[in-house]
Amino acid sequence: MKKWLVFFFLAAVSTTGVVAQEGRLKSLEDGNEASPWEAVGRLDIGGKGFCTGALISPDLVLTAAHCLFDKATGTRINHETVEFLAGWRNGRASAYRNVRRAVVHPDYTYAEDVSSARVRNDIALLELARPIRNTTIEPFDTAPRPRKGDRVGVVSYAHDRSEAPSLQELCTVLARQQGVLVTSCSVDFGSSGAPIFVFAEGKAQIVSVVSAKAEMNGTNVSLGTALGAPLEFLREELAAGKGTFQASAPLAARIGVGEGRNTSGAKFVKPMN
């Protein structure tokens, strides 16, 4: 089995360079080029960092679960301190919204050892305080997980391109292992939660969200979380009235290098701080 050397993004911005992969990253600073991607936005995390998220309905943003955890303590942050900046570009957004409720996958545990189980459960759904009803911001549909060899793309923000999103249209699905999508897409700190797309009949549909970057057989790759049933479960949780903030207790211990379970045959390391 291919081995992954995994480095989790967490919400904080760091200083690692962008890794060039198959297709070049294209900055979406120009309004015409950015217009199809206005539903992708920057998630500002309480002034301490940022992630990427995408609208899948006028009031729902899809992102990674670990964006809602404090990297120092491992506790859930108050999602009311998170702001979604739709289409954020060069100091302005097409819409600004606070988050009213948030749900994460019930099997996601921030304190868990870094593993494929952690990656495949790294999904969250945010309900905005008010829906975004703007004709220039069209929420994305979702689609079934692609197959190995399929072409995908990603739109994301990152530490050295935090003021405008970048598009990489030419990525490849390298593997699907234990519910994790491995792609050749170029990602970096801040890309957590970024939508991974397939393109069908000229329309982009979300098939995954970025959870981590990794190395596989010496090649830089990105790891994505599957949607499908997990996403539907999160929708049902919100429909049932769940997602209000409840503070959690600090972690008693952090997982170190080489500790914890490893059922995938991969070599994992602890999250970067």
Domain annotation covers residue 260 = no
Domain annotation covers residue 119 = yes
Least confident of 103-107, 194-198, 204-208, 210-214: 210-214
How many domains, in total, are found in the chain? 1
Q: What is the pLDDT of residues 83-119, one digit of tens each?
A: 999 999 999 999 999 999 999 999 998 865 667 888 9
pLDDT at 73: 86
Of 113-117, 182-186, 237-241, which has the strongest mean pLDDT? 237-241
Domain annotation covers residue 190 = yes
Q: Write down the pTM of the prediction.
A: 0.83
Domain annotation covers residue 270 = no
* DSSP classification of residue 47: T
Domain annotation covers residue 269 = no
Domain of residue 202 covers 4-251
**Which tokens go with 204?**
């982009």
Three-class SS state of 116: helix
Q: What is the pLDDT of residues 111-168, one digit of tens each?
A: 656 678 889 899 999 999 999 999 999 999 999 989 999 999 999 998 778 989 999 9
Percent of the chain with pLDDT over 90: 53
Domain annotation covers residue 14 = yes
Q: Where residue 245 sits, what CATH number does that domain have? A: 2.40.10.10
Domain annotation covers residue 22 = yes
CA atoms of 76 and 205, how far apart (whole Å): 29
Domain annotation covers residue 256 = no
Angle at 117 between CA 62 and CA 158, to 5 degrees: 45
